[in-house]
Structure 1
């Protein structure tokens, strides 16, 4: 597929996501299950969390744009995600789960409907694994579309994957602050190795999962981690709420609190505008 083909394909769908307004760059939707049931072998079975609920939440928070990340429980069935994107008039984007053998026509259709990235899962409880050959083959498939790849894993595995994938040149976005343990701080060898990767121009950080790295409400310890990462990549940092917070064993976080937390991490209005508005508008164009 040529660059001209990609542009033409993208132009066949709804309006491009506008540059103005806050972005929530990490959400999932599940259901309605009458229309979009989980497969019989779903890796987990979350409560319903349809797009209508997410959209209402965003309206209440003043969030103008969102990113829908395909849940591992849906596997290859993207019907819920694509239906939601179709209804969003271009204000939402999607992140898919694909195999290297996916048909070109299906990739082009996803792009036209608002998908702008794929997720590479490294978390074993979600069926993820490090498979360098497979991951590189997937990056080859998405490169013509200008898509990025999310890396979702714990710090050791993220560092290992970056060793292989970062030289490939495709934009890589690290989910949930690499699932570091906030209590460990930022001064240890594995974190230093991650910082070196984060300094690369094609590596981005998602300041999401503040609750996941602490096991509860966002804390000062999570803020220390986020600020260090933000200092390294202020033009390549974005935020996500992780709504509806699947697979957690503590009380569900409050999205308004998470948004206030990231604004406090940013420290000033211009940095917050970069993280919440300018950076994601560029990544998800």
Structure 2
């Protein structure tokens, strides 16, 4: 089981999914979506080619609460990868403890209607109380106004929260509007983190995602010690050509602008969060 400490020596991909292989890890009946196979071995090969040493597997909504693929992958990774689960408030304590021992470090709360919609606020609070003893964090995945609504309820609880994919803002809207100002204000809280991932998603897939730079830089400047990055491989539920992981890594390095900032975003910040 992966129990070794997280390393600051290598780059982290803090957001990707795995699907399959389906003969070993089939989807449940009537999944929310049915992605092509994207097994762990494939992303590990991509990581090796790019010099990425660590990663975070985010449970795909199509798997529901079946974490067998995620946990099997973590079991083979010798502590170099971590996991993000999806749980219900009434999850068995032994199951939570087993997940923690095998490398899970947080949960994802989905706010996107096409991925099942938002749980009610009472369920969200209850889930955060279940993970608090483990020191886990929660990802919030939704569009900016839905994220802000959830933050108003959850941020006062003090559990670390990570905002996924730059709150799914529209890059064409820029940064000078009320919701973005509220996002920056909330992000100043010391237990709030931002994931500078999904530049393709906020620019309608228009590479090299130049319109996303202003948004990402504003968020990075707000929380430079709590900003992380991920590829979002294999980029499920998009309607444009799949982004190239090498290009995404080049994008975040260019955004950071200097070696110290890049080291913080790609190495030191995630090593703290996923220890």
Scaled by the length of structure 2, the TM-score of the pair is 0.98
Deviation (angstroms), 1:131: 1.3
Gaps of 5+ in 2: none
* Residue matched to 2:190: 201
Name which of 60, 67, 70 aligns with 1:71: 60
CA contact (8 A) 2:2 2:77 kept: no
Q: Which whole-Å CA distance do the structure 2 matches of 1:27 and 1:88 have between them?
A: 15
Whole-angstrom CA distance in 1 between matches of 2:2 and 2:237? 33
Structure-1 separation of matches of 2:260 and 2:193: 18
Which whole-Å CA distance do the structure 1 matches of 2:157 and 2:270 have between them? 22
What is the aligned partner in structure 2 of residue 103 from structure 1? Answer: 92
Contact 2:2 2:74 in 1 (8 A): no
Does the Cα contact within 8 Å between 1:130 and 1:157 map onto a contact in 2?
no
Counterpart for residue 269 of structure 1: 259
Aligned counterparts of 2:19 and 2:150: Cα–Cα separation in 1: 28
Query: Could you tell me the TM-score, scaled by structure 1's length?
Result: 0.95
- Residue in structure 2 matched with residue 15 of structure 1 by the alignment: 4
Residue of 21, 30, 33 corresponding to 1:32 = 21
Partner of 1:23, secondary structure, is strand
RMSD, aligned α-carbons? 0.9
Mapped partners of 1:46, 1:197: distance in 2: 34
The one-character-per-residue Cα deviations of 1:168-223 (angstroms, maximum 9, x if unpaired) are: 00000000000000000000011111111111111100000000000112422101
What residue is the counterpart of 1:7 in the other structure?
none
Q: What is the CA distance between 1:13 and its match in structure 2?
A: 4.4
After superposition, what is the alpha-carbon deviation per residue over 1:206-259, rounded to whole angstroms, capped at 9, x for unaligned? 000000000112422101000000000000000000000000000000000000
Whether the 8 Å contact between 1:120 and 1:128 is mirrored in structure 2 is no
Residue matched to 1:3: none
Shift of 1:136: 0.4
User: CA shift at 1:85, angstroms?
Assistant: 0.1
Q: Of 25, 31, 39, which aligns to 1:42?
A: 31
- Residue 52 of structure 2 is aligned to residue 58 of structure 1: no
Paired position in structure 1 for 2:166: 177
User: Residue in 2 aligned with 1:234?
Assistant: 224
1:136 is matched with: 125
The one-character-per-residue Cα deviations of 1:54-86 (angstroms, maximum 9, x if unpaired) are: 100000000000000000000010000000000
**Contact 1:61–1:256 at 8 Å: present in 2 too?**
yes
- Equivalence for 1:8: none
Give, in whole Å, the separation in 2 of the partners of 1:158 and 1:43. Answer: 21
| Partner Cα distance (1:93, 1:162) in 2 | 24
The number of residues matched between the two structures is: 274
Q: Secondary structure at the match of 1:118?
A: strand
Deviation digits for residues 135-163 of structure 1 (CA, Å, limit 9, x no counterpart)? 00000000000000000000010000000
Distance 1:96 1:218 in 2: 31
- Structure 2 CA distance for partners of 1:20 and 1:135, relative to 1, 3 Å: same
Query: Helix, strand or coil for the counterpart of 1:26?
Result: strand
In structure 1, the partner of 2:146 is 157
Q: Is contact 2:6–2:271 with CA below 8 Å preserved after alignment? A: yes
Gaps of 5+ in 1: 1-11
Tell whether 2:107 aligns with 1:118.
yes
CA distance in 2 between partners of 1:199 and 1:14 (Å)? 31
